[in-house]
Chain A
Amino acid sequence: DAKTTQPPSMDCAEGRAANLPCNHSTISGNEYVYWYRQIHSQGPQYIIHGLKNNETNEMASLIITEDRKSSTLILPHATLRDTAVYYCIVRAYTTSGTYKYIFGTGTRLKVLA
């Protein structure tokens, strides 16, 4: 299984962009990168995902390097409500024909007023 490495914590000023890095150097060619976040102990919430092209949605942007060994989640204008643990996940396709989503240790983002 591809593993992900993230910094354990980051701070960001409210209104500024939050850039959360993730290393996934063992990712395979057909494995997607997903980002989820978890606020307190709630269920993880989907943010965005991508394969090799940069992606943007209403919540965030995802920048994937050309070699696909790392990615960055960008929250363009962080608010206090974005304070959460952010997980970078590689979705692996298994021999049983299903997907497996393996969470890393995550980055605890604290948005400061």
Chain B
Amino acid sequence: EPEVTQTPSHQVTQMGQEVILRCVPISNHLYFYWYRQILGQKVEFLVSFYNNEISEKSEIFDDQFSVERPDGSNFTLKIRSTKLEDSAMYFCASSLGSGQGTVNEKLFFGSGTQLSVL
């Protein structure tokens, strides 16, 4: 079965540094998402991306965050100046998506990048 691939699996960084988390969504998917999960807490929506622009973003997704699809296969999440509270597991997800009436639409998740900010 096709997979969403995330790299790296673990990332350690110093507070204030920039990090880029990388994802390769499933090849024919059109909608891309980032979620995060702080240890012991629920999975939280960050942002959705479609047609080369952000579709929706949560309150968490402030000016320190940005997303990009630099080519036809990668989808990245950048955190410009990391804070201690950014430490979390970050999940990328993708879906096929074809607008309204997509009865069988579902999200496929990657295995995550564990970000530790020291």
Contacts and interface: CB of A to CB of B under 8 A. Distances in A.
Interface of A: 34, 36, 38, 41-46, 49, 51, 87, 91, 93-94, 96-106
B42 A103 contact: yes
Given A102-B45, A103-B45, A106-B42, A42 B97 contact: no
Contact of A42 (B99, B100, B103, B112): B112
Nearest to B30: A98
A44 B37 CA distance: 11
B112 A34 contact: no
Size category, B interface: 20 to 34
B84 to A, nearest CB: 19
Interface string B12-56: 000000000000000000010101010000111100101000011
Contacts of A105: 42
B68 interface: no
Interface of B: 4, 31, 33, 35, 37, 42-45, 48, 50, 55-56, 89, 91, 93, 95, 97, 99-100, 103, 105-112, 114
Contact of B105 (A36, A99, A106): A99
A12 to B, nearest CB: 21
Interface of B is mostly: strand
Contact of A96 (B55, B93, B97, B106): B55
Given A98-B56, A98-B97, A44 B109 contact: yes
Given A97-B55, A98-B31, A98-B97, A43 B106 contact: no
B118 to A, nearest CB: 19
Contacts of B97: 98-99
